[in-house]
């Protein structure tokens, strides 16, 4: 497939379904026919959780085809909005000599992860500190590739690595494997609106004091149908006023060094408030960790809703939060005991 639309088919599909606990139904279906679901297994997106084999929205060529660092950097300088930079299967690109590489607005960086057994081309860095990529304009997309950072462990004063910093409207990252960026894989800044992070496998981001799969600090981040494992916090937020994210149909593996989804409060920021962001909607996720699943360390200005998840740990270890949090219609433990 060769498309120049930034917004993928799977995300467009998400706009057409009702996100209240009845997944996989058409907008016109009688509500009596809808089936209530819990956890990520019902997955209404039409693509596999974590991407890879079975993912349908895959590029097979582009306006530029690159096979090494020089070709990639040249293409990024030349590409214009609507164009695709394609990295073929089997290619390995070492970007250890570079940091803060700009992806221009409207440009897609694509590979073949999931196509006929392809694991996707590998782009990697051994650089110990800094950020590999940054958005340089609106509506960038990264899809179908693998990105490997320099360090998979928890404790090290040498390493402080990030995969990408998103600063602009309309960014989309999908069907990628992103790992070994110990500080954070994907960092979404306050001004980045309409950000979609979906169908990725994100793992081994474990830095003590950092270690975020997704650091979502804007007010409009949607984290859908990803697979997470071996992160300190798989999803985190600074909890600054206005911050908010939706996390839905994600599979959260058993290996975490702290609670799985996190929101900081004013005490963490030292700003003299108890504010923990604005809104959060955490639904239809499956959590395998024995640690706390969700931690909201303050009071959201509007509301945090936590519903239709499957928490495999006992209910006593499910969530801790302040006020303005509604926890309802979740199931707990291996027997999926429903609690209102």
Q: Are 196 and 227 in contact (CB under 8 A)?
A: no
CA pair distance 211, 208, nearest whole angstrom: 6
Lowest mean pLDDT among 6-10, 32-36, 123-127, 334-338: 6-10
Instruction: Determine the Cα–Cα distance for residues 234 and 79; give it in Å rounded to an integer.
Output: 33
Contacts of 92 (CB under 8 A, 6+ apart): 121, 122, 123, 124
Query: Which pLDDT belongs to residue 148?
Result: 98
Decide if pLDDT at 264 tops 80: yes
Residue 54, classified by CB atoms within 10 Å of its CB into exposed (0-12), middle (13-18) or buried (19+), is exposed
| 67-122 tens-digit pLDDT | 999 999 999 999 999 999 999 999 999 999 999 999 999 999 999 999 999 999 99
Give the pLDDT of residue 30: 43
In this predicted structure, the answer to whether residue 54 has a pLDDT above a threshold of 80 is yes
Q: What number is the average pLDDT over the span 154-172?
A: 95
DSSP string, 173-196: EES-EEE--SSEEEEE-TT--SEE
Specify the pTM. 0.91
DSSP 40-63: STT-TTSS-TT-STT-----S--S
d(CA 228, CA 225): 10
* Lowest mean pLDDT segment, chosen from 24-28, 45-49, 241-245, 309-313: 24-28
- Mean of the per-residue pLDDT values for the chain? 89
* Token pair 């979609």: residue: 196
**68-82: pLDDT as tens digits:** 999 999 999 999 999
User: How many other β-carbons are positioned within 10 Å of the β-carbon of residue 28?
Assistant: 5
Tally of CA atoms within 13 A in the half-sphere of 143 that contains its CB? 35
Domain residue ranges of the chain, discontinuous segments joined by +? 9-339
Q: Is 321 a residue whose pLDDT tops 60?
A: yes
158 Rama class: left (phi>0) / alpha (psi -120 to 50) / beta: alpha
- Other C-beta atoms lying within 10 Å of the C-beta of residue 167: 18
User: Looking at the predicted structure, is the pLDDT value of residue 33 above 70?
Assistant: no
pLDDT at 267 over 60: yes
pLDDT at site 25: 38
- How far is 96 from 91, CA to CA, in rounded Å? 16
Tell me the pLDDT band of 1, cut-offs 50, 70 and 90: very low
Q: Is 3 helix (H, G, I), strand (E, B) or coil?
A: coil
CA-CA distance, 91 to 97, in Å (whole number)? 18
Please state, in angstroms and rounded to a whole number, the distance separating the CA atoms of residues 298 and 71.
47
Q: Is a pLDDT exceeding 70 seen at residue 195?
A: yes
Measured CA to CA, the distance from residue 271 to residue 262 in angstroms comes to: 18
Q: What pLDDT score does 211 carry?
A: 94
| CATH node for 9-339 | 2.160.20
């Amino acid at each position: 497939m060769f498309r120049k639309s930034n917004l993928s088919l799977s995300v467009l599909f998400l706009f057409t379904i009702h996100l209240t606990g009845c997944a996989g139904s058409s907008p016109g279906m009688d509500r009596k026919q809808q089936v209530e679901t819990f956890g990520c297994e019902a997955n209404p997106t039409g693509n596999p959780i974590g991407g890879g084999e079975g993912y349908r929205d895959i590029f097979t060529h582009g306006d530029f085809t690159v096979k090494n660092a020089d070709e990639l950097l040249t293409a990024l300088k030349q590409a214009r909005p609507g164009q695709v930079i394609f990295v073929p299967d089997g290619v390995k690109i070492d970007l250890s000599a570079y940091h803060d590489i700009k992806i221009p607005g409207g440009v897609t960086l694509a590979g073949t992860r999931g196509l006929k057994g392809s694991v996707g081309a590998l782009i990697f860095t051994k650089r110990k500190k800094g950020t590999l990529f940054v958005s340089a304009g609106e509506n960038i997309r990264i899809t179908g590739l693998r990105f490997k950072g320099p360090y998979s462990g928890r404790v090290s004063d040498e390493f402080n690595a990030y995969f990408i910093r998103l600063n602009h409207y309309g960014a989309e990252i999908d069907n990628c494997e992103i790992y070994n960026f110990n500080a954070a894989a994907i960092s979404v800044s306050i001004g980045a609106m309409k950000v979609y992070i979906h169908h990725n496998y994100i793992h081994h981001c474990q830095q003590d004091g950092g270690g975020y799969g997704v650091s979502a600090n804007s007010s409009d981040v949607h984290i859908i149908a990803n697979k997470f494992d071996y992160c300190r916090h798989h999803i985190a937020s600074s909890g600054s006023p206005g911050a908010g994210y939706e996390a839905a149909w994600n599979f959260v593996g058993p290996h975490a060094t702290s609670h799985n989804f996190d929101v900081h409060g004013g005490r963490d920021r030292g700003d003299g408030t108890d504010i923990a962001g604005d809104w959060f909607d955490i639904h239809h996720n499956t959590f395998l960790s024995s640690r706390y699943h969700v931690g909201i360390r303050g009071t959201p200005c509007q509301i945090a809703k936590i519903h239709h998840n499957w928490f495999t740990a006992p209910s006593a270890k499910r969530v801790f939060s302040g006020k303005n949090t509604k926890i309802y219609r979740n199931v707990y433990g291996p027997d999926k005991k429903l609690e209102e």
